[in-house]
Structure 1
Amino acid sequence: MRKIFFTGAVLAASLLLGACGGPESPAPSAQAGHNAADVTFAQQMIPHHQQALEMAKMVPSRSSNPKVVDLAGRIDRAQDPEIRQMQGWLTAWGAAPASHSMPGGHEMSGDHTMTGMMSDADMKSLDAAKGPAFDRSWLDMMVKHHQGAVEMARTELAQGADAGAKALAQRIIDAQQAEIAEMQGLVKG
């Protein structure tokens, strides 16, 4: 029994030392399975999703179109859990949440202006609209907003390392491209 325990302990120590690597062994490509692109993706997608939720929550009191109300509800139900998931990743990765102010009172990291984000003026204009005028503005803005999210998700797929973050990016692309097509159909109809 002692020999098995000793052999197991030696094997574990060897694996640990081997994982540390020396000057001749290559370092892991990303610490803990993630890289800077994954962190940036989460830091930027969180406020992006938060603005989409803010926009979705405007719909029930301003729209009389059941299709727009349904779509806004689906956006709310999909993106809120994604925000919590990304916040969990940032905590697990030891990364700070977004750190600079941006339109809509949300924050983001770096000096990058996120594509698809609505300005404060856009949000105030949307907040003041009602009925069909609201629906049209909301659909136009949400299409642009979703296109921005798809672009950010494509960057994550191309540059990210974390399997979970890349899987979320693909889900965002799939869901939001379908919603873009649905919204464009609603605008035409």
Structure 2
Amino acid sequence: MPGIHAPRPAVRRTVLAAGTLAAALLGGCGADHAGMGHGMSAPAAGSSSVTSFNDTDVMFIQMMIPHHQQAVRMSDLAVTRAGDARVKELAAQIKAEQRPEIATMLDWLDAFKQPTLAPTGMDMGHGPDHGAMAGMATEAQLKALSQASGTPFDKMFLTLMIAHHQGALTMADQELVDGTNPLARQLAQQVVNSQSTEIATMRSVLDRL
């Protein structure tokens, strides 16, 4: 895929300690983020008892990091430019969910010994890589969003974020079909659950404006 360092040939790799994985899945929920309840953490390596991940898991994490980063970037604009209180609340909720997930996914790639996207693949909103990451806003759209305020900003933000979330659902659905790593699949399911709900809410707010 353009802009992504190709994963190593072997599809399954032994890098996660099963005991640590179980603790992260079953006992980590106390480390809750606001509005999240994920409790997910970076896996540890070095145990003789291990689980594995495949290329779909790596691709999902590599692509979801910049996808989340753009959502946070868009949501940051709402602090000063949104006019509707519910839009501001939604933007704050998106940041509260996705910032910790970005940090977690970066830790996962480090543990998996896999790279992040190459610099040329970071801007998926236009150019040859556009089709690789569904829902990403273009730089032109982000510029227009940054120049809007009040109700025009609110409508543009909601329209772009709905499409952005729908792209995330597409990516998460693929992970749930073909991914094997329990933590990556857990995150994908969380994305489906939270962002499906947010799409419905954003559509409701957009209809009201």
TM over 0.5: yes
The amino acid that maps onto 2:187 is L
Contact 1:104 1:120 in 2 (8 A): no
The amino acid that maps onto 2:142 is M
**What secondary structure sits across from 1:118 in the alignment?**
coil
The amino acid that maps onto 1:54 is R
Report the CA distance shift for 1:112/1:38 in structure 2 as closer, same or farther (over 3 A): farther
User: Match for 1:137 among 156, 162, 171?
Assistant: 156
Matched, 1:181 2:163: no
Contact 2:135 2:166 in 1 (8 A): yes
Matched, 1:83 2:102: yes
Normalised by the size of structure 2, how large is the TM-score? 0.72
**Residue 111 of structure 1, CA deviation:** 8.2
User: Match for 1:66 among 73, 82, 85?
Assistant: 85
Q: Distance in 2 between matches of 1:61 and 1:104?
A: 26
Contact 1:104 1:123 in 2 (8 A): no
Identity of aligned residues (%): 38
**Residue 60 of structure 1, CA deviation:** 1.2
Report the CA distance shift for 1:136/1:112 in structure 2 as closer, same or farther (over 3 A): closer
Show the counterpart of 1:103: 123
Gaps of 5+ in 2: 1-9, 15-51
Q: Distance in 2 between matches of 1:30 and 1:185?
A: 43
Q: Mapping of 1:150-165 within 5 angstroms?
A: 150-165=169-184
Report the CA distance shift for 1:64/1:104 in structure 2 as closer, same or farther (over 3 A): farther
**What secondary structure sits across from 2:132 in the alignment?**
coil
**Residue 101 of structure 1, CA deviation:** 3.2
**Residue deviations 1:58-95 (CA, integer Å, cap 9, x gap):** 00100121100011000000001111111111000010
Contact 1:103 1:118 in 2 (8 A): no
Normalised by the size of structure 1, how large is the TM-score? 0.80
The amino acid that maps onto 1:182 is T
Q: Distance in 2 between matches of 1:104 and 1:52?
A: 13
Q: Distance in 1 between matches of 2:93 and 2:53?
A: 29
Contact 2:124 2:130 in 1 (8 A): no
Q: Mapping of 1:31-42 within 5 angstroms?
A: 31-32=13-14, 33-42=52-61
Q: Distance in 1 between matches of 2:56 and 2:11?
A: 12
Contact 1:90 1:97 in 2 (8 A): yes
Q: Which structure carries more helix by proportion?
A: 1
**Residue deviations 1:122-149 (CA, integer Å, cap 9, x gap):** 1001001000000000000000000000
**Residue 113 of structure 1, CA deviation:** 2.3
**Residue deviations 1:144-188 (CA, integer Å, cap 9, x gap):** 000000100000001111000000000000000000000000011
Gaps of 5+ in 1: 1-27
Bigger radius of gyration, 1 or 2? 1
Runs (4+) of structure 1 moved beyond 6 Å?
none
The amino acid that maps onto 1:177 is S
